[in-house]
Amino acid sequence: MSFVEEILRYPEEQILEQMAATTANQVEQALATDHLRIRDLITLLSPTALDYLEPMAQKAHHITQQRVGNTIQLFTPMYLSNECSNGCKYCGFNANNNIPRTTLTLDEIEQEAQIIHDYGFRSILLLTGEHKKMADNSYLIAAIQKIKPLFSSISIEVYPMDTDGYKQMVAAGVDGLTVYQETYNRELYKEMHPFGKKRNYTYRLEAPDRAGEAGIRRIGVGALLGLGNFATEAFYTGLHAHYIARQYWRSHVSISFPRICPADGGFAPINPVNDKQLVQMICAMRLLIPDAALFMSTRENAELRNSLMPLGITHMSAGSCTAPGGHAHKGESTEQFTIDDDRTPEQISEVIRAQGFEAVWKDWDSAFLNNLAV
């Protein structure tokens, strides 16, 4: 049993039909329950529920405050390589894009990591494209070993691996994984990924299952918002997170809300997602899984990020740079997408404070996984 079977129980046409038929009364009922059922998730993601954003937001805020408190955890991404053999149409690292390609050496990784550490970050997310020759498991493991002394938490957002690969990552010190399905719609997925290993929809869809089996502590899912139909992508994202939380109950599930940004190659969103829909999705995810970690990246602008903070967001990236080596050498390499919030980590933590939250830089300890620690 994997999520591949689970998702088949919820055909897209049926979800859309149920959403279209949703009544105000159903929304009110869903808002009144303590534990959402999957049927309630459909209700809260329906167009009808858009009229209930305020009560949804109030409830999401209340739950988040109770479960997580008045804190926002900060992390920053570090791009190790922009080499890629995939052809994802929306991505700046697309193999067809004629951009300068870089894979950081271990020394460069250390230099970059030191700068990030000096900003105050103890939580780091490592990213690569998918290129077996330039950045494979052993490259990642070497990178992780190199930077481990500087960070209490190391997560990865790279190509999907098999279960053994994920086990190797855990052994190396990885505690978190993010793997976006991009779109849960099989047809659209094929269209968006014309070539490369990433073309295999099922292999990617099952990556969080394999990570769960391998015992990765934090597993993050998400759809690239702007590709497929908003409401069903949001629904399948919630369904996926809900499934992971139950199936791999020792792992903590997280959900991200990446909205398509302009990248080199000029991809425009197919189904643009507006701010109201984004808020609807964030609140629905919080109501579905009260303890899920909800991530907001610097893809969104500063003003929106500030407003989203009280709605249920628990983790924010800051000081981001989506080009490999971009912290040490600003502006020299091509970015995966454009950052819309370019405030420094210090500025962001100041804003978090002004919004009535404490910025948390460390909330994990490498000693949990390191059996040589003591």
Partner 1 sequence: MDELIIAGRSFRSRLMVGTGKFASNAQMAATIAASGGEIVTVALRRVNVGDQQDDLLNHIDRNKYLLLPNTSGARNAEEAIRLARLARAAGCEPWIKLEVTPDPYYLLPDPIETLKAAEILVKEGFIVLPYINADPVLAKHLQEVGVATVMPLGAPIGSNKGLKTRDSIAIIIEQAIVPVVVDAGLGAPSHAAEAMELGADAVMINTAMAVAGNPVMMAAAFGKAVEAGRQAYLAGLGKEQKQAVASSPLTGFLRDE
Residues 105-134 contacting partner 1, CB under 8 A = none
Q: Which of 216, 125, 95, 116 is nearest to 163 (CA)?
A: 216
Nearer to partner 1, 114 or 370 (CB): 370
Nearer to partner 1, 262 or 290 (CB): 290
Rounded (10°) CA dihedral 259, 262, 268, 272? 30
The least CB distance from residue 67 to partner 1, in Å, is: 6
Nearer to partner 1, 198 or 217 (CB): 217
**Stretch near partner 1 under the rule CB under 8 A, chosen from 75-83, 229-237, 340-348, 358-366:** 358-366
The least CB distance from residue 159 to partner 1, in Å, is: 26
368 binds partner 1 (CB under 8 A): yes
Q: How far is it, in rounded angstroms, from Cα 103 to Cα 143? A: 11
Nearer to partner 1, 331 or 356 (CB): 356
**Stretch near partner 1 under the rule CB under 8 A, chosen from 78-86, 90-98, 315-323, 351-359:** 351-359
Nearer to partner 1, 204 or 218 (CB): 218
The least CB distance from residue 306 to partner 1, in Å, is: 15
Query: For the chain, what is the largest distance between any 2 Cα atoms, rounded to a whole number of angstroms?
Result: 60
Contacts with 333 (C-beta within 8 Å, 6 or more apart), sequence order: 82, 100, 102, 323, 324, 325, 326
Residues 42-81 contacting partner 1, CB under 8 A = 65-71
363 binds partner 1 (CB under 8 A): yes
291 binds partner 1 (CB under 8 A): yes
Interface residues with partner 1 (CB under 8 A) are 65-71, 152, 217, 245, 249-252, 289-291, 353, 356-358, 360, 362-365, 367-371, 373-374
